[in-house]
Structure 1
Amino acid sequence: MKSKWLAIMLIIVLAIVPGIFTWIVNTDVTAKAASASMATQNWQASFSVALKKNKITEEYVYITTEKGRKVPATIELLEDQKTVVVKKLAPGSYQLHVKKEAFAQGGLNVASQTIPFTIIETLTAVKSEKELQQYFKKLLTTQRVEIREEESAQNATSEDKATANNESTTNNQVEGVEEGDIVVVKDGFIYTAKDQSITVVNAKDPKNLKMATSIKLKESQYISKLALYDNLLIAIGDQYIEKAGTAMVTASFYDISNPSNPTHVRDVGQEGFLQDIRITKDTLYLIGNMYPNYWMLQENNKTDLKPKTFDSMAGSEYKSLPLEKISILPNTMDGTYSLITAVDLKNGAKTTANTKGYLGGSSGLYMSENALYLTTPMYESNIDVSSEKRIMDMIWLPRSADTQIFKWNVDGTTLNFVGSTEVKGTVLNQYSMDEYKGNFRIFTTEGNTWNEKSTSYNHLFILDEHLKTLGSVKDMAPGEKIYSARFMGEKAYVVTFKQVDPLFVIDVANPKKPAVLGELKIPGFSNYLHPLDDTHLIGIGYDTEQRYDSYTKRNFTVTTNMKMSLFDVSDFRNPKEQSTVKIGGKGSSSEVQYNPKALFRNKEFNYFGFPVVLYEAGKGDEVVYQGQGAQIYEITAEKGIVLKGNIINRKNGESYENWEQVVQRVVYIDNTLYTIARNEIKSYQLNDFKPLDTLTIK
């Protein structure tokens, strides 16, 4: 009965908590290994049974060519005693042989293992349907139960980009690389996404806001991003295509030369779900993931496992991606496609669209003007499931992981795969990554702060253009994890947290010898960093306080009010918290804390602002709703942080905020500020925030 209950518990958890665990449940020896690895990378195989360290010799563990000839190779056993790493092999086809005597049998009837693999110099396309199906059949034979972990929402930093008009722009991470948002502004018109429609508002007369038009998309198409390119408005959304029986990421293009009468130009789509978009050098990039139903191979060998694409310029059919546009990423055995569609935006986006599919999923990305980096966590694959306690630990406690990085050089619609590598720990989000002078820089956290048996550490790795490690700073802030990061040229800043907020200043001028220059410890933490100038940073996050748990006899940390700080890093070795403000009380929050697009910036007035929902502490652990709206601050190195606009709609008998009225974005056009909610747009004078007009959106 006890075992039956445990099995039911496992099934329930696996059904409702996608994204956390991978393990092998065979009682015999099973192995997990990629079919191919780049020559610049090590290849490895992981087993469900431990190996004996003294048996990692040429007699028991060795490499042969596919014809059976032994070849010299460096073979190492990792600390987990279950993972074998093979180094220094020339391109070619090989087999790893592990004799049964090398396994620590533990009562199991193990057999010798032979695992074929290939070392490649360049990524090549899948050659046949048979090769593609063999890839997925190999996944099926491992008989895995697999759940993927999603990365946390993005915290960010950004550079302000100059614009020809005096209007708000999207808060992008990299200058010259547009990311899109739910609200965009152009030539006195505000475009805002709402479910399956785009509201276009004529804001040229801020005292008389007018609805210009509403663009209705398909009922099944939900918009998640808007972007602008010249006179093109691009709406990105996820859509379920009943005709094709699958979900699609769709980019819909509109000519807004006449904003009151947009003209539909084209739809381009790729199967699966959106990860993010980028626009740079006249090209739109759609990046997403697609999960094929490869288990259908057990019933039908003719199952089409290629992703579908759509382009209204080429017809109304949903077409399977040709084999010559599908590749298997090295050192992956994931079963998920990373899909990248590049659309040439010149001449009204009426020409080239190029989609590539890469077997090997991804959950994080960073893009410069010339390169795209995708990342994916790599979890421990072999976990002992022999005891009920270990299974319950796996259910409730997330596992440690490393990060695999893939790089492409991009030139318009052409994508050239460069290679891949691995680094210790997991990356928080895209703003923990950066490219500078051709080198890639990435912050990671290794381990978990909740695990008292092992200590978490934080690292910085600097890789060259071929993803070879140049330098690193390891083991920062033991026991803590990264909450935000910011790269600023030859300096890098990272915030870690468990009980206090250390802000580290790191010199990265010499990529081979990065070094921590200074550290500041204060209560609370910043989960969003934004540069004010070369020597000042704005941090937005939470204040915290220590409490005592009488049951566990331990102190623990809880968040209280929002907090914004101005950090002075002019003396890199002695960073200071120059100015700070508390925002609301316990329970108060802002979207800017996890989404940088919500940050309002105006250089003329030195304004920074964001939407807020305000709460105050009530009885016990209760919080009491106070109101919602936006707050605007003047932030300068001379004056610090000064509240200028407190645009708050105070509660009127409500117990919590009304979702339709919550301010989503704050933008400006010339001397007017606008707050945008789902059901209304309000205008205010920018100099004194005097209300001007309200437009209700139905």
Structure 2
Amino acid sequence: MKNKWITILLIAVLAILPGTFSWMALPKAEAQTASAGMKTHSWQVSFTEALKESEITDASVYVTNSKNKKAQATITLGDDKKTLIVSDLAPGSYKLHVNKEAFALSGTKTASQVIPFTIIDKLEAVKSEKELQQYFEALLANHSQKELEYETTVEMASREDKASTNNASTTNNQVEGVEEGDIVVVKGGFIYAVKDHGITVVDAKDPKNLKLATTIKLKGSQYISKLAIYDNLLIAIGDEYLEKVGTSMSTATLYDISNPKNPKLIREVGQEGYLQDIRIANGTLYLIGNMYPNYWMLREQKTLDLKPKIFDSVEGKEYESLPIEKISILPNTMDGTYSLITAVDLKNGAKTSANTKGYLGGTSGLYMSENALYLTTPIYDVNLVPAAGRIMDMIWMPRTTDTQVFKWNVDGTAMNFVGTTEVKGSVLNQYSMDEYEGNFRIVTTEGNTWDEQKISRNHLFILDKNLQALGAVKDLAPGEKVYSVRFMGEKAYVVTFKQVDPLFVIDVANPKKPTVLGELKIPGFSNYLHPLDDTHLIGIGYDTEQRYDAYSKRNFTVTTNMKMSLFDVSDFKNPKEQSTVNIGGKGSYSDVQYNPKALFHNKEYNYFGFPVVLYDAGKGDETVYKGQGAQIYEITADKGIVLKGNIVNKSTSDQYESWEQRVQRVVYIDDALYTVANNEVKSYQLKDFKPLDTLTIK
């Protein structure tokens, strides 16, 4: 494993969890690895010193089994020249022997290495409290041996609804049949919206007479991040800090909304740590999150409960530690962070027990199909030696190099771990991942656009159901990075950017031989791609322009106005920008740029829309506020992009937008459109956007 211990520290930063950050020294040719690997995958070890490719022979580098006899194994040297990959071994206990002659440097800096490891057939649960504590003690010892003189402490807080008879908005989910939730959801003529520490329920059955049906108040310490609906269940997802327990919990609070005006609390489920995201598939809710245990306290306490806390009101009112038999250590990881997955059966009113599993090995990326869950985590390069005496260099964060992928097959509340693998580069977001006919596709960027010594490159990898490599497109758009990805069956569309926006069309019909078919270069870039039909894509992003910096004597790129494009990819080898519109001026933005849930879509009218905040260029680099609201466009393959509804409150004197009145989401119910802001809901006729009513929410 490539120095996975540093992942613990960065995940702590990203998750805003309490912890201590220490720069690690890299003395001698030390090995960084996990203790176990899966039978269906390779096991690997990384050293702090490079190895000689010519010395990777049976005489200098070999594996012995539990009887101290040489075992038949395939050993290869990684591209970084510091990683050895061992494969083709049956389950069992082994030792990797690396003679000192195999290292590029000789003398006191190197010594022969013997590294024990195990190949496992399937993921096993931790067997005892003692084994769990020994795991954390080993992590602690590994860190302590490498601490530098300087230490920096960082404080961190770190189904389709078949019951509805209305023609109404649904959440813009990535995968059909897999619900993701949002801050505004609609059912049965009622709008449910997140507001502060509660949920506003608006009776919108009569768009000319909007009424506040009720307000659901949650605990004052609970922050709601999203809502979801399944049958007559309203699910509120949030984070809560518990002072008595001294920890944070990710929670799912379930309400019966058979009577929307009088929702009834029926259940609360929680897991310790911070929420990564949720999914609902085949009638099951999945809570996915991370928990970082305070295992450094082992320095002061001989025994410590390092198991995550869980809560289920069906089981009782107390917070309990996750049973040891529910905890496993993910292969090829050296990470003290837990990935927690709680599965709740929502069928029959969500009355059955929840199933929570904890996996030692933190994750940050997520993709889910109806039958499989994929989690990813970045792998960081810590072979960065700071300049002597420069404290600022000590806190320079390591760079992402690769991505580790974990897979589970899911069937209701049953979750079965499949395996893990690594791919080169880092993942942008969930849309960079996809499952099709059992194969997993993932797009990554390797390197950084600002690194002139080692320019960035982009890759597409296709893996089979066991995460074994099938095919790849590598080194796409050197010097650029991925800005958006969309998979559509047998085609993949990738937008990269540095100075212009290339849209690549990639044929992935043959998973063993993916091929770039065509490329379109235009100014600007798309942050989000949305399919219109089989041969047209909508791109939402920014326009750009080139400027010259007199000091550095170099050109640089700046964003100007928002931009929406319609791409015609009917001729895959020659994609075209069929239609385009500019939205606002410099400084204009929309939540849809970074959160596709903000996209409004009505199939009957071919409408697409989103909230907007409009600015324009002022003097110098200043921007001038122009108004806020929403814009609705008719988008078709024949007519292109046509603005239909400009629902923007233009500013006459305000210098900045109002947070309370800024439109969060746009939804529809039957023939009416609604804009939902923090303190008001407005209704309009869907066909012509004539204003109907305004409901002020205090």
Q: TM-score, normalised by structure 1?
A: 0.92
Q: Please name the residue that 1:542 is paired with.
A: 542
Amino acid aligned to 1:494: V
**CA distance in structure 1 between the aligned counterparts of 2:296 and 2:500, rounded to whole angstroms:** 47
Question: How far apart are 1:34 and its partner, in Å?
Answer: 0.7
| CA distance in 2 between partners of 1:215 and 1:43 (Å) | 51
5 Å-filtered alignment, 1:144-293, equals 164-293=165-294
Residue matched to 1:447 = 447
Partner of 1:42: 42
**Superimposed CA distance per residue, residues 266-318 of structure 1 (whole angstroms, 9 cap, x where no aligned partner):** 00000111111011111000011111111111111311111110000111111
Aligned residue runs from structure 1 range 26-425, under 5 A: 26-105=26-105, 108=108, 110-143=110-143, 164-385=165-386, 387=388, 399-425=399-425
8 A contact 1:287–1:340 mirrored in 2: yes
- Deviations along 1:391-410, one digit per CA (max 9) or x if unpaired, are 86785576241111111111
In structure 2, give the amino acid aligned to 1:490.
E
8 A Cα contact 1:163 1:169, kept in partner? no
Provide the secondary structure at the position in 1 that maps to 2:352: coil
- 1:450-469: per-residue Cα shift (whole Å, max 9, x none)? 10001211111111111111
The reply on whether 1:680 has 2:688 as its aligned counterpart is no
- Deviations along 1:489-518, one digit per CA (max 9) or x if unpaired, are 111111111111111111111111111111
Q: For residues 341-362 of structure 1, what are the alpha-carbon distances to aligned partners after superposition, in whole Å with 9 as ceiling and x for unaligned?
A: 0000011111131001111111
CA distance in 2, matches of 1:483, 1:393: 29
Cα distance, 1:82 vs structure 2: 2.5
- Distance in 2, Cα, partners of 1:462 & 1:30: 33
Query: Contact (CA 8 Å) 2:165, 2:188: kept in 1 or not?
Result: no
Q: CA–CA distance in 1 between the matches of 2:397 and 2:31? A: 24
Q: Mind listing any 5+ residue stretches in structure 1 that lack a counterpart? A: 1-12, 148-158
Provide the secondary structure at the position in 1 that maps to 2:170: coil
Residues 364 and 384 of structure 1: CA distance in aligned 2, closer, same or farther (over 3 Å): same
The Cα shift of 1:641 comes to: 0.5
8 Å CA contact 1:161–1:176 kept in 2: the answer is no
CA distance in 1, matches of 2:396, 2:479: 20
User: Which residue is equivalent to 2:465?
Assistant: 465
Q: CA, structure 1 residues 521+57, in 2 after alignment: closer, same or farther (shift >3 Å)?
A: same
Partner of residue 575, structure 1: 575
User: Quick one: which amino acid aligns to residue 471 of structure 1?
Assistant: G
The offset of 1:135, in angstroms, is 1.6
| Aligned ranges 1:501-512 → 2 under 5 Å | 501-512=501-512
C-alpha spacing 1:411/1:130, structure 2 compared with 1 (3 Å)? same
1:150 maps to none
Distance 1:18 1:314, change over 3 A: closer
State the alpha-carbon separation in 2 of the partners of residues 16 and 340 from structure 1. Answer: 18
Equivalent position amino acid for 1:600 in 2: F
Q: 1:155 aligns to what?
A: none
Alignment of structure 1 residues 503-522 onto 2, 5 Å = 503-522=503-522
Match of 1:152 in 2: none
Aligned residues: 674
Q: Is contact 1:161-1:175 (8 Å) kept?
A: no
Q: Secondary structure at the match of 2:325?
A: helix
By how many angstroms is 1:58 displaced? 3.9
Give the Cα–Cα distance (whole angstroms) in 2 for the partners of residues 599 and 565 of structure 1: 15
CA deviations 1:120-162 (Å, max 9, x no partner) are 1111111111221222122112226799xxxxxxxxxxx9999
Supply the distance in 1 between the matched residues of 2:80 and 2:495 (Cα, whole angstroms).
Answer: 30
- For residue 588 of structure 1, give the secondary structure of its aligned residue in structure 2: coil
Q: Within 5 A, what are the aligned runs for 1:488-499?
A: 488-499=488-499
Show structure 2 runs of 5+ residues with no match.
1-8, 153-159
What secondary structure does 2:131 align onto? helix
Alignment-derived partner of residue 7 in structure 1? none
Query: Deviations for 1:229-281, whole angstroms, at most 9, x for unmatched residues?
Result: 00000000011112221100000000000000000000000011111101111
Show CA shifts across 1:318-359 (max 9, x none). Answer: 111111111111101111111100000011111131001111
Deviations 1:513-540 (A, max 9, x none): 1111111110000010111111111000
**What corresponds to 1:654 in structure 2?**
654
Per the alignment, do residues 203 and 72 of structure 1 end up closer, same or farther by CA in structure 2, a change over 3 Å counting? same
Between the aligned residues of both structures, percent identity stands at 76
Specify whether residues 422 and 592 from structure 1 end up closer, same or farther in structure 2 by C-alpha distance, changes over 3 A only: same
Q: Distance in 1 between matches of 2:510 and 2:244?
A: 55
Range with greater deviation from structure 2 (558-567 or 27-36): 27-36
Mapped contact 2:409–2:415 kept (Cα < 8 A): yes
Are the equivalent residues in 2 in contact too, given 1:201–1:209 (CA < 8 A)? Answer: yes
Instruction: Tell me the secondary structure at the aligned position of residue 135 of structure 1.
Output: helix
Q: Which whole-Å CA distance do the structure 2 matches of 1:15 and 1:222 have between them? A: 21
Q: Deviations over 1:558-594 (max 9, x none)?
A: 1000000001111111111010000000110000011
**Secondary structure at the residue paired with 2:663?**
coil
Tell me by how many angstroms 1:107 deviates. Answer: 7.0
1:605 alignment counterpart: 605
Take 2:236 and 2:119, find their aligned partners in 1: how far apart are those partners? 41
8 A contact 1:472–1:512 mirrored in 2:
yes
CA distance, structure 1, for counterparts of residue 459 and residue 11 of structure 2 = 34
Cα distance in 2 between the residues matched to 1:560 and 1:597 = 24
What SS does structure 1 have at the residue aligned with 2:453? coil
> Equivalents in 1 of 2:289, 2:11: separation in Å?
23
Q: Shift in Å at residue 52 of structure 1? A: 4.0
In the alignment, the residues of structure 1 paired with residue 331 and residue 486 of structure 2 have an alpha-carbon distance, to the nearest angstrom, of 30
The farther-off stretch of 39-48 and 518-527 is 39-48
- For 2:239, the aligned partner's letter is D
Q: Return closer, same or farther for 1:14/1:609 CA change in 2, 3 Å cut-off.
A: closer
Q: Corresponding residue for 1:626? A: 626
TM-score normalised by the chain length of structure 2: 0.92
Residues 648-687 of structure 1 deviation map (CA, whole Å, 9 limit, x = unaligned): 1122422211111110000011111111111111111111
Structure 2 residue matching 1:130: 3-state secondary structure: helix
Alignment RMSD (CA, Å): 2.4
Task: Report the equivalent of 1:154.
Answer: none
SS at match of 1:24: coil
Deviation of 1:85 after TM superposition, in Å, equals: 2.1
Report which stretch shifted further, 317-326 or 49-58: 49-58
CA separation in 2, counterparts of 1:550 and 1:397?
30
Structure 2 vs 1, CA of residues 448 and 208 (structure 1 numbering), >3 Å: closer, same or farther? same
- Check conservation: 1:24, 1:48, Cα contact below 8 A: no
Deviation at 1:17, TM superposition (A): 6.6
| 1:105 Cα deviation after fit | 4.9
Counterpart Cα distance in 1 of 2:397 and 2:299: 33
C-alpha displacement at 1:628, in angstroms?
0.7
Of the structure 1 ranges 44-53 and 128-137, higher mean CA displacement relative to structure 2 is found in: 44-53
Whether the 8 Å CA contact 1:448–1:456 is kept in 2: the answer is: yes
Contact 1:370/1:410 (CA < 8 Å) preserved in 2?
A: yes
Q: Show CA shifts across 1:359-394 (max 9, x none).
A: 1111111111111111111122433346568x8678
Structure 1 range deviating more: 115-124 or 104-113: 104-113
Give, in whole Å, the separation in 1 of the partners of 2:239 and 2:400. Answer: 31
Q: Contact conserved, 1:22 with 1:380, CA < 8 A, in 2?
A: no
- 2:691 corresponds in structure 1 to 691
CA distance in 1, matches of 2:132, 2:178: 34
1:411 shift after superposition: 0.5
Partner of 1:156: none
